[in-house]
């Protein structure tokens, strides 16, 4: 089989390929939809998945996510795409159970590459206890892959992105900087080993370690950046999120990638949409702003929880770290400090 660089076939990659948030809101805001007494969560608050009441004490949680490759190895691409799609179920406090694949595949590529993408996805979903039970495939000029995932949860244990309260600690479970490093990786400037390993990591353990703790709001950090997803949760909750830049943890080399201009396109569309929704000190450098607004792929969970529960959580789950706190609603939904 001829070795093909998957990333050479695409203009954008990973969650950086998402539509700009401003365009998305322009298309979806005020869109008419049929109401259902059983639909607990739809797209109104930009939550991670829909939640449907099964009327037996349980809810069904449904999500879909797919994107172009950010790595050249087909199996690793399959693993990352699967981990990213599964994350939305974990971000709602649910347990994923079954999935269907979405594949766009160029007719010029060896069909064995498609098989290897699926093998990577199956390996990752098996790790999560999920079965891929079917899917849909299209011929396309650019390869793209992902999953539609169904999960379940007890109705009274669902997490949403609204409900954060003043006084809450804000906890993040993965380091930042994936978008910056993968842009440098595509340019041949870094192997991005740590970034690739982190994208392959499920958020299963991050979700499970919150068992018995009070989670007021939750989401995951992906294409709209840390600032974008913090804004969605703060706005939906009617509060402001104060984020300490000095508390953020970045993958090794991410700051250097920003300084040298390896910045994904999504960083600019994110800031265009968010610039009037976030307060950032005037002395922040361009590179520091790049770090705040750059897209992430298969990022960590962003959890809003009482300080005492946050302290227990970060002891249980050593990958997690506190990045800020919640205050009563201010002029800006997100406030960045040093």
> Which domains are delineated in the chain?
6-157 (3.30.1330.10), 169-337 (3.90.650.10)
In this predicted model, which residue has the larger pLDDT, 3 or 338? 338
Binning pLDDT at 50, 70 and 90, where does residue 30 land?
confident
What is the arithmetic mean of pLDDT over 31-45?
83
The predicted structure's pLDDT at residue 20: 86
The predicted structure's pLDDT at residue 48: 86
Per-residue pLDDT at 211 exceeds 90: yes
Tell me the longest C-alpha to C-alpha distance in the chain: 58
The predicted structure's pLDDT at residue 2: 57
Binning pLDDT at 50, 70 and 90, where does residue 241 land?
very high
The whole-model pTM stands at 0.95
What is the arithmetic mean of pLDDT over 255-277?
96
Told to judge if 104 belongs to the known catalytic residues of this protein, a careful annotator would answer no
Binning pLDDT at 50, 70 and 90, where does residue 31 land?
confident
Catalytic residue among 6, 15, 99, 258: 15
């Amino acid at each position: 089989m001829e070795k093909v660089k998957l990333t050479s076939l695409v203009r954008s990659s990973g969650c950086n390929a998402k539509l700009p948030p401003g365009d998305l809101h322009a298309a979806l805001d005020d869109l008419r939809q049929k109401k259902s007494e059983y639909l607990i969560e739809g797209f109104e608050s930009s939550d991670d998945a829909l939640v449907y009441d099964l009327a037996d004490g349980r809810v069904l949680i449904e999500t879909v996510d797919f994107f172009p490759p950010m790595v050249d190895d087909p199996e690793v691409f399959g693993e990352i795409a699967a981990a990213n799609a599964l994350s939305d179920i974990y971000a709602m406090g649910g347990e994923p159970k079954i999935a269907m694949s979405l594949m766009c595949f160029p007719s010029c590529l060896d069909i064995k590459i498609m098989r290897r993408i699926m093998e990577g996805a199956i390996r990752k979903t098996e790790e999560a206890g999920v079965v891929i039970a079917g899917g849909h495939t299209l011929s396309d000029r650019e390869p793209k892959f992902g999953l539609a995932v169904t999960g379940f949860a007890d109705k009274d244990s669902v997490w949403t992105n609204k409900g954060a309260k003043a006084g809450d600690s804000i906890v993040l479970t993965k380091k930042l900087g994936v978008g910056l490093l993968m842009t440098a990786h595509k340019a041949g400037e870094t192997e991005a080993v740590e970034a690739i390993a982190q994208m392959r990591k499920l958020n299963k353990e991050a979700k499970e370690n919150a068992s018995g703790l009070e989670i007021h709001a939750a989401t995951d950090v992906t294409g709209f950046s840390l600032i974008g997803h913090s804004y969605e949760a703060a706005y939906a909750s009617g509060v402001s999120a104060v984020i300490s830049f000095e508390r953020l943890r970045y993958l090794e080399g991410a700051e250097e990638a920003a300084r040298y201009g390896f910045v994904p396109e999504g960083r600019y569309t994110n800031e265009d949409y968010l610039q009037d929704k976030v307060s950032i000190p005037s002395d922040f450098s361009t590179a520091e702003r790049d770090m705040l607004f750059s897209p992430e792929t298969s990022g960590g969970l962003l959890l809003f929880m009482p300080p005492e529960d946050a302290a227990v959580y970060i002891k249980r789950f050593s990958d997690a770290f506190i990045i800020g706190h919640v205050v009563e609603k201010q002029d800006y939904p997100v406030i960045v400090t040093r």
